[in-house]
A and B are shown apart, each in its own frame.
Chain A
Amino acid sequence: MPATFTRHQVEVEKRNTGYGGKPPVDRRPTGGGGGDENWDSHSSRHDGPHELLIRYRLAVLSGLAGDFVFFAVLVSAFFVRPTAGHIDAGANFVSDWHPIAIPPILWINTAILLLSSLTIEVARRQLFHEIDVMEEWLGLGRPAVRRAAPWLLSTILLGGLFLTGQWIAWQQLASQGLFFATNPNSHFFYLVTGAHAFHLFLGLFALLFALVAIFRFRKVEMRQIALDCTAWYWHAMTLFWIFLFVLLVCYQ
Chain B
Amino acid sequence: MSAPSAVPAPPPRGFLRRRLFTTDHRALAVLYLLLGLAAVVAGTLLSLVIRIHRVWPALPFPFYGILRPEDYLAVVTMHGTLMVFFVLTVVPQSAFPNLVLPAQIGADRMAFPRLNAAAFWIALASLGVLLAAFFVPQGAPISGWTSYPPLSAIAAAGPGQGAGMDCWIAAIALFCVAAVASSANLLATILGRRGPGMRLERLPLTAWSWLTSSALTVIAFSTLFAAAAMLFADRHLGTNFFVPPGEVIDGIARAGGGGSPLLWLHLFWFFGHPEVYISILPGMGLASALLANFTRRPVPGYRFMVAAMLMIGFLGLGVWGHHMFVSGIDPWLGTTFGLTTIAIAVPSSAEVLTWLAMLFRGRMRLTTPMLFTLGFLSFFIAGGLTGPILAQPALDAYLHNTFFVVAHFHLVMAMAGVFSIFAGIYYWYPLLTGRMMNELLGKAHFWVSLVAAYGTFFPMHFAGLAGEPRHYAQLAGPVESFPSLIPVERGITFAALTLAAAQLIFLFNVFRSARHGVRADENPWRATTLEWSPDLHPITRGEPYLYGSCLGGTEDFLPQWELAAPARPAQPYLSGPKPE
A residues neighboring B (CB under 8 Å) = 14, 16, 18-20, 24, 34-35, 37, 39-40, 42-43, 46-47, 51, 54-56, 58-59, 62-63, 65-70, 73-74, 76-77, 80-81, 83-87, 96, 180-181, 184, 187, 191
Shortest beta-carbon distance from B109 to chain A in Å: 11
A84 CB contacts on chain B under 8 angstroms: 245, 258-260
Partner among B187, B199, B259 whose Cβ is within 8 Å of the Cβ of A62: B187
User: Across the interface, which residues of B come within 8 angstroms of A42, CB to CB?
Assistant: 196, 537
Q: Which of B115, B227, B258, B537 has the most CB of A within 10 A?
A: B258
The 10 A-B pairs with the shortest beta carbon distances in the complex, nearest first, are A66-B222, A73-B226, A62-B184, A55-B192, A84-B258, A69-B222, A39-B539, A58-B188, A55-B188, A70-B226
Q: Which listed residue (A37, A43, A73) contacts B267, Cβ 8 A?
A: A73
User: What are 10 A-B pairs with beta-carbon distances under 8 A?
Assistant: A24-B575, A47-B193, A51-B193, A55-B189, A55-B191, A62-B218, A69-B218, A69-B222, A86-B246, A181-B256
Asked whether B260 lies within 8 Å of A80 as measured between CB atoms, the reply is yes
**Would B197 and A55 count as touching, CB distance under 8 A?**
no
Whether B158 sits at the interface, judged by CB under 8 Å, is: no
Partner of B219, one of A59, A65, A86: A65
| In the assembled complex, B241 has its CB within 8 A of some CB on chain A | yes
Which residue of chain A has its CB nearest to the CB of B230?
Answer: A77
The chain B residue sitting closest to A55, CB to CB, is B192
CA distance A77 to B223 in the complex (A): 12
Asked if residues B219 and A19 are in contact (CB atoms below 8 Å), the reply is no
Interface residues on B, range: 35 or more
How many inter-chain residue pairs (CB < 8 Å) link A and B? 114
Contact with A along B251-269 (1 / 0, CB 8 A): 0000011111011001100
A76–B262 CA distance with the chains assembled, in angstroms: 12
Residues of chain A with a CB closer than 8 A to B267's CB: 73, 76
- Contact check: which of A14, A58, A77 meets B241 at CB < 8 Å? A77
Task: Tell me which residues across on chain B come within 8 A of A80, comparing CB atoms.
Answer: 260, 262-263
- Chain A residues near B238: list those with CB within 8 A: 180-181
- Set B193, B539, B578: member contacting A55, Cβ < 8 A: B193
Q: Is the CB of B541 within 8 A of A66?
A: no
- Residue of A51, A68, A81, A86 near B192 (CB, 8 A) is A51
Q: Is the CB of A73 within 8 A of B197?
A: no
Q: Could you tell me the distance between the alpha carbons of A33 and B71 in the complex, rounded to whole angstroms?
A: 62
In the complex the two chains form, what is the Cα distance from A54 to B246 in whole Å? Answer: 52
Q: Which of A70, A77, A96, A180 contacts B225 (CB 8 A)?
A: A70
Determine chain A's interface SS by DSSP, over half rule. helix
Q: Bound state CA distance, A51 and B196, in angstroms?
A: 13
B328 at the interface (CB under 8 A from A): no
Which residues of the other chain, A, contact B221 by a CB distance below 8 angstroms?
66
- A246 and B457 CA atoms in complex are apart in Å by 51
B112 x A181 contact (CB < 8 A) = no
Interface residues of B in 131-176 (CB under 8 A from A): none
Chain A residues near B413: list those with CB within 8 A: none
Is B188 in contact with A59, judged by CB distance below 8 angstroms? Answer: yes
Distance of A224 from chain B, by nearest CB (Å): 16
Q: List chain A residues, Cβ under 8 A from B199.
A: 35
Question: Which residues from B are CB-within-8-Å of A54?
Answer: 191-192
A35 to B575, CA, bound (A): 19
Asked if residues B180 and A20 are in contact (CB atoms below 8 Å), the reply is no
Complex contacts, B180 vs chain A, CB 8 Å = 62-63, 66
Bound state CA distance, A162 and B230, in angstroms? 26
Asked if residues A70 and B222 are in contact (CB atoms below 8 Å), the reply is: yes
Q: B577 near A: Cβ within 8 Å?
A: yes
A20 contacts across to B, CB distance below 8 A: 577
Bound-state Cα–Cα, A232 to B268, Å: 29
Given known contacts A55-B111, A59-B184, is B239 in contact with A66 (CB within 8 Å)?
Answer: no
Q: How far is the CA of A80 from the CA of B230 in the complex (A)?
A: 14
A184 to B214, CA, bound (A): 35
Closest B residue by C-beta to A53: B192
| CB within 8 Å of A: which B208-240 residues | 214, 218-219, 221-223, 225-227, 230, 238-239
The answer to whether A59 and B263 have CB atoms under 8 Å apart is no
B187 touches A58 (CB 8 A): yes
Given the known interface contacts A66-B180, A73-B267, A76-B267, the answer about A96 and B188 at a Cβ–Cβ threshold of 8 Å is no
